[in-house]
Structures are given as structure tokens and as C-alpha cells.
Amino acid sequence: MSFFADKQTLDDLNIPGRQRNNSIARLFDTVVTSGGRKLLDSMFQRPLSNAAEINNRSSIFNYFARQSITFPFTADEFGIMEDYLSSGQRSSLAASIVNVVSKKVLQIAVQDKEYVQLNTTVCQIIGLLNKFYVFVNQFPNEQSAYKEQLDSIKNIFADAGLKWLQNETDVKRLSLVKLIRYDYLLRADFKERLQELIEMISLLDVYIAVSAVGKRKGFCYAYALPDSRNTITVTGIYHPIVESAIGNTLVMHQDCNVLFLTGANMAGKSTLMKSFGIAVYLAHMGFPVAANHMEFSVKDGLYSSINVPDNLSMGYSHFYAEVLRVKTVAQEVAADKNLIVIFDELFKGTNVKDAYDATLAITGAFSENRNCLFVISTHIIEVGETLRKQYRNFRFAHLPTEMDGSIPRYTYQLKDGITSDRHGMMIIENEGVLDLIRSKTKSIK
């Protein structure tokens, strides 16, 4: 079963959708070919859930990051190859002869262009395949994570039936007999092998594109540990989309499976929580993550509740929407899944007393599940104080605010402890709202 994150989580973290502004998928969307794009999409849709697979994929990325290779084709060139192979079935040599000869006859009789076109296309494809052959051979013949795939590409080229390719470098026009033969070979005899090759090229496209993004951004590759250990260690984690983001260090494990986060509104709580969620997701894809170093146990899924939308059309209040969200997570936890759960500022849409009771009860109950990791933020610091007395497996941390006169400054640097910083009133005061209301108050009885 693959690693699972639901729609709410993906939206919270803005992961999928390369058309969406600032999405993570868009960040990595630098592939050239349409096949590469499809592969990239499917990698985003299905993160891996097996440590060996994850490490294998991430070491391939890592290998390409060290090589600094550019993808040898343009999208158009690659498109020609895909179109050629997917169109025109050649069931037998006879059929191929009939097809090509009839084109030739038409050319002579009515100056039809199809023959010339076919001739040019086949020449182009021979050229492209030779170009790729040269490209493949420039890889150093050393032991690497990519070696297995490299070898199978080389195997295809080494096939006796494709040997003629190398004799036709730089060919511009083929004779009728050669054209019939090559057209038949490419589209019938070697069709499957060439399709395989196209798959490999698409994959190569993804490797080159993703590793280049990772290298350019200075991302690191996370190391997946077997899921029997419940631990995540990440140093210098930051949000991949935020400009000049500040790195933080998070260490979570079985005996410290809840991070209880406090801090003022603008202090960066949500950003830190999102950075964590994104890093976990990308790490499970084997992709480079925005951090200095990361090690993690493979988990079954990721759930976040950061921007729970109201569903007023169904008559749900914000509070009820949050309750239902928590219930979904509770059911997953109860189903023995090992999850990473992120709750940002739960229970906004209710009164203070209920918010306190609910946050305390829910956080306490969740924290007993030591195989799951929780990051929970709140403004109700009293909850933190109570939890501190009852549980030993919490880490209490906060994002501090330093006051520069009446202007708050944020360090975005995680510190231990609980903070009571709140700036709602300060924002109201800085805007001068109360003074505006009180100016010119008329006194009437």
C-alpha cells in the first residue's frame, strides 16, 4: 500500500498541481518530455512506502545531481519519436513494402509529399537514436544507483538487429529499399524495445530535472529508515517556496512523539508546520527536501488540518468541520496506521472554554499512540501547562517574537518552552482602530 495523504492535506501543503501557483509540483516541473511529465505526476500521486525503494530512488537522483548532465532532447524531437512509434502499425514486411511503395508511386504520379515526409522522419529518428547512443556512452562505467537502468539501455542498443543504426550516422535521405527495411524494423520488429527505450528516456528526463532542481535549491536527500523505528530527525528544515526561509531542527521519536507549538500569529507556526509536512511528503517520494539533513522512518500516511474549509452549504459550522476532520484522523489512527499528523490551531469556531477542553482532551488522547507523530499548535497556553504535568512524551517549543519598540520582529527560530505571545490586540492597536472609533464621540444622554 502506498503512502497516503488526502486532499485536505495536499491542499494545506499546496503539493499537487503544476498549474497552481507556488505548488510543490510546480517547483519540480522542469521536465522536457510529456512522458516525463506523466511520470512526475504519478510520483506525486503515489509516494513510496518502502524504505528500500525510497532510498533507491533518492540515490539515483543524488547520482544525477553529482553528474550535472543535461537532457539531450528537446520536447519537439522527443515528440517526433513518440508520434512515429504510436502511429502506423506494420504487421508484416509485405505490408510495409506496400505502404512505402504506394507512397513512392504517388510521389512520382501526383507529386504527393508523404513519401518525402516518411523518409525525413525515419532519418530524423535514426539521428536521434544515434545521438542518444552517444549520450548514453558518455556515462562513466562505474558502480552507481543508475547502473542497472543504464545497462538495460545499452543492452537495447547492443541488439544485433539494431547494429545498422551506427552505420547510418548523419544520414539525410534513404534509398527506397533501405527505407522499407528500416521503417519495418523500427515499427514492427523493434517496436517494443523502442517503446521501452522511450520509457527509459522519460524516466531519465525526470531524474535529470528533479536532481537539477534539488541541486540548484541546495536541497538534501532524506535517508529512509525501516518503519519499525518511529523516528524523524531533520536539521535545517525550511519551506521550499518561501524566500530566504530560516532553517529549524526537529527531532521526533517514540518517546517524544508530540511537538506542542506556540507562538504569535505571524511568528511562522503555520509555515514551520507546512515545511515539515512538505519535507515528509517529498522524502517519501525519494525527492530532495528543503533541509540540511534528514532521516526518517517510513510512515503509512500524513494528515494535516491547517486551513479547514467551512462547509456552510451543507450547514456545517467551522467548528463542526474541524470536529469531523479530527474524527477522520482518529479513525485512521484507530485503524493501526502509523501516521504523521499536523493540527494547526484547532477549534477556532467555538468559545474559549470549549476550545480549551477539546484541545486538551484530543491532544492527550492522540499522544498515547506512540507510533504516530504529532505536531500541534495552539494559542491556549493553559493546555500546554496541563499537558506538561500529565505527559512525558511532549516537546514544548515556540517561535519567539522580539519587540522592537511597538513593532514585533520574528526570528522564525524554534525555541524550547511555551510562549504566551499574542499580537491580535497589537495589530488592532497599530491600526489605530480604537482611537478612530473614540475620536469625536458625541455625548448624548
Partner 1 sequence: MSFKTDTQTLEDLNLLGKPGRESVFNIYNHTNTRGGADILEHLFLYPLSDAVAINNRSQTIQYFSREKLAFPFRSASIDSAEVYLGMTDKRTMLSREDNNLSRKFSQLIDADSGYKLIYNGIIAIITILQNLSDFIEKVTSSASTTPYQTELEKIMSLLAHSDITVLIAEKKINKLSYAKIADLDKLLRFTNLSKIKEVLAFIYQLDVYVSVAAVALTYNYIFPKALHKDEHTIDFTGVYHPLVKHAIGNTIRISPQSNIVFLTGANMAGKSTFMKSLGIALYLAHLGFPVAAEKMEFSVRDGIYTTINLPDDLSSGNSHFYAEVLRVKKVAKELGANKNLFIIFDELFRGTNVKDAYEGTIAITEAFAEKRNCMFVVSTHIIEAGEVLRERCANINFVYLPTRMDINTPVYTYKLEPGITADRHGMIIINNERILEIIRSRKNKTIS
Residues that bind partner 1 (CB under 8 A): 228-230, 254, 265, 315, 317-320, 323-324, 326-327, 330-331, 333-336, 345, 347-355, 357-358, 361-362, 365-366, 368-371, 378-380, 422-425, 427-428, 431-434, 436-445
Residues 6+ apart with CB under 8 A from 192: none
Separation between Cα atoms, residue 256 and residue 262, nearest integer Å = 17
Contacts of residue 385, defined as CB under 8 A and 6 or more positions apart, other chains included, come to: 418
The sign of the CA dihedral 199, 201, 204, 205 is negative
Phi, psi of 37 (to 5 degrees): -65, -40
Backbone dihedral angles phi then psi of residue 33, each to the nearest 5 degrees: -95, 160
CB of 342 to partner 1, least distance (A): 16
CB of 167 or CB of 443, closer to partner 1: 443
Nearer to partner 1, 1 or 334 (CB): 334
Q: Which lies closer to partner 1 via its Cβ, residue 29 or residue 421?
A: 421
Which residue, 10 or 282, is less far from partner 1 as judged by CB? Answer: 10
337: DSSP letter: -
Give the separation between CA 156 and CA 150, rounded to whole angstroms: 10
Nearer to partner 1, 92 or 307 (CB): 307
Question: CB 434 → partner 1: shortest distance, Å?
Answer: 5
Q: Which amino acid is at 245?
A: A
Return phi, psi of residue 294, to 5°.
-150, 135
Q: What is the DSSP string of 70-112?
A: --S--HHHHHHHHHHHHS----SHHHHHHHHHHHHHHHHHH--
Q: How far is the CB of 318 from partner 1 (least distance, A)?
A: 7
Give min distance, CB of 326 to partner 1, in A. 6
Beta bridge partner(s), residue 223? 295
Which residue lies nearer to partner 1 by CB, 172 or 438?
438
DSSP secondary structure letter of residue 206: H
- Work out how close the CB of 252 gets to partner 1 at its nearest, in angstroms, rounded to a whole number: 14
Here the contacts of 328-337 (C-beta below 8 Å, separation 24 or greater) are 328/6, 328/303, 329/303, 329/305, 330/366, 332/301, 332/303, 333/366, 333/369, 333/372, 337/300, 337/301, 337/372
Q: Which DSSP helix (H) or strand (E) runs through 377?
A: strand 373-377
Q: Side-chain half-sphere of 211: how many Cα atoms within 13 Å? A: 22
Q: Which is nearer to partner 1, 161 or 417 (CB)?
A: 417
Expressed in angstroms, the distance from the first to the final Cα of the chain is 72
Return the number of the residue (125 or 326) whose C-beta is nearest partner 1.
Answer: 326
Tell me how far, at minimum, the Cβ of 224 lies from partner 1, in Å: 17
CB of 254 to partner 1, least distance (A): 6
- CB 216 → partner 1: shortest distance, Å? 25
CB of 439 to partner 1, least distance (A): 4
Please identify, using beta-carbon distances, which residue of 206 and 346 lies nearer to partner 1.
346
